[in-house]
Amino acid sequence: MPAKKSAPKTAPKVPATKSAAKTAAKTAAKTAAITAMNPATTTGAAPAKKAAPKKSVVAIGELVIVDAGDHTRDRAPLGAHLSIAGGTWEAAARAKEISATAAQIFTKQANRWVERDITPDEVARFRAAMRETHVRWSCAHDSYLINLASPDQTLRARSIESFRIELRRCHALGLDALVSHPGNYMDERASGLARNIDGIVEGLEAESGPTRLLIELTAGQGTVLGSTFEEMALLISRIPASVQSRVGVCLDTAHIWAAGYDIVSEYDDVWKRFGDTIGFARLGCLHLNDSKAALGSHLDRHDLIGQGTIGRDAFGRIMRDPRLASIPKIIETPKGDAPAESDGRMLKLLRELAQ
């Protein structure tokens, strides 16, 4: 019995051999572990029911291409955060399954401090695999553990080291961007911001390369920095000119909504304020996520597009907004049990909204 492409939760009941069962169980565990680190799955979404086989699925060898709409009409690269279970290059197959023209990955296990460097072998394998896809823009999201603003010297030193190696891996893989969250100041806002800026500068000065750093606007939970356009603008303005040109921002719709920016009833006003404070030239990526949390709740809880508190209309406006037409767009929506089907459905919806 050939193993299914969609990682089984358990090993097949009647495996051909003992070692096959072991391998299957190992793969399933690995996939589950890495999938669990997807930013989208921090939402605690209810697991989707085991779906009946979809009619709109075309099997190509092992690869299953789902109906994700017409990617040839994407004005800007559009895609999803993809699992790297099995290796970074495996994200390419997952990009293909959903006809993605953009991709976001982790370059290591995002919830662990363990670091790794990318070998030339992996670079070759990753690039070759990505060339076989429709992806024309790719980025990584950095580890959740990094806190460049921490007042704890040990944790901050560790964070800077980890941030540097994140940048190094992105440069090696030739990714367009690294999306990085501002840190938590913990003690005092102004000094935290200063520590955060110094950490970013230290990383950028130490690791040069093609990847642009995109600092992500946050929901503003607890003592996290960067949940207002003004604070983000201030942060960037204090980065020295020598490295500032390598810095932009990533705007996550679920985050700014939770931070209090009403993109539903004050759509134009919010974007005007963004343009006036940060500026569209700094906008390097959009994370398109609906929200389970309310406007101004400061909670980061992603939801499926059209099913959360933001609703599909705002996403339609974003998809058709000429100011955002060239900005790469990534979804980090809950994947449930069937990542390709769920992400494919989201991309199809966004592609339809764009017309």
Looking at beta carbons only, is 23 or 221 nearer to Zn ion? 221
Helix axes 153-173, 189-206, angle to 10 degrees: 40
Does position 300 interact with Zn ion (CB under 5 A)? The reply is yes
Q: Which two tokens stand for residue 294?
A: 């309310």
| Beta carbons of 290 and 304 less than 8 angstroms apart | yes
Q: Residue 80: helix, strand or coil by DSSP?
A: strand
In the bound complex, what is the minimum distance in angstroms from residue 141's beta carbon to Zn ion? Answer: 7
Nearer to Zn ion by C-beta: 231 or 252? 252
Asked whether 73 and 101 are in contact (CB, 8 A), the reply is no
74 interacts with Zn ion by CB under 5 A: no
Residues 6+ apart with CB under 8 A from 317: 267
298 or 317: CB nearest Zn ion: 298
CB of 153 to Zn ion, least distance (A): 28
Q: Is 151 exposed, middle or buried (0-12, 13-18, 19+ CB in 10 A)?
A: middle
Nearer to Zn ion, 89 or 257 (CB): 257
Q: Does 142 bind Zn ion (CB under 5 A)?
A: no
CA 194 to chain centre: 26
Count of residues that interact with Zn ion, criterion CB under 5 A: 3
Please state the closest distance from residue 135 (CB atom) to Zn ion, in A.
18
Single out the segment in contact with Zn ion by CB under 5 A; choices: 160-168, 192-200, 251-259, 307-315: 251-259
Tell me which stretch binds Zn ion (CB under 5 A): 14-22, 187-195, 247-255, 343-351.
Answer: 247-255
Cβ pair 222, 181 in contact under 8 A: no
Locate 58 and state its tokens.
């075309």
Shortest gap between Cβ of 11 and Zn ion (angstroms)?
A: 33
Count CB atoms within 10 A of the CB of residue 50: 9
**Minimum CB distance to Zn ion, residue 208 (Å):** 25
The least distance separating Zn ion from the CB of residue 89, rounded to whole angstroms, comes to 23
Q: Within 277-296, which residues bind Zn ion (CB under 5 A)?
A: 287
Residues 6+ apart with CB under 8 A from 119: none
Q: Which residues of 270-286 are buried (b: 16+ CB within 10 A; e: fewer)?
A: bbeebeeebeeebbbbb
Give the shortest CB-25-to-Zn ion separation in angstroms: 31
For Zn ion, which is the closer residue by CB, 134 or 287? 287
Q: Binding Zn ion by CB under 5 A: which of 252, 290, 341, 343?
A: 252
**Joined tokens for residue 152:** 């704890």
User: Are 156 and 148 spatial neighbours (Cβ–Cβ below 8 Å)?
Assistant: yes
Residue (3 or 295) nearer to Zn ion, CB: 295
89/137 with CB nearer Zn ion: 137
Q: Return the biggest CA–CA distance within the chain.
A: 64
Which CB, 90 or 252, lies closer to Zn ion?
252
Segment interacting with Zn ion, rule: CB under 5 A, options 128-136, 245-253, 274-282, 343-351: 245-253
Using CB under 5 A, list all residues that contact Zn ion: 252, 287, 300
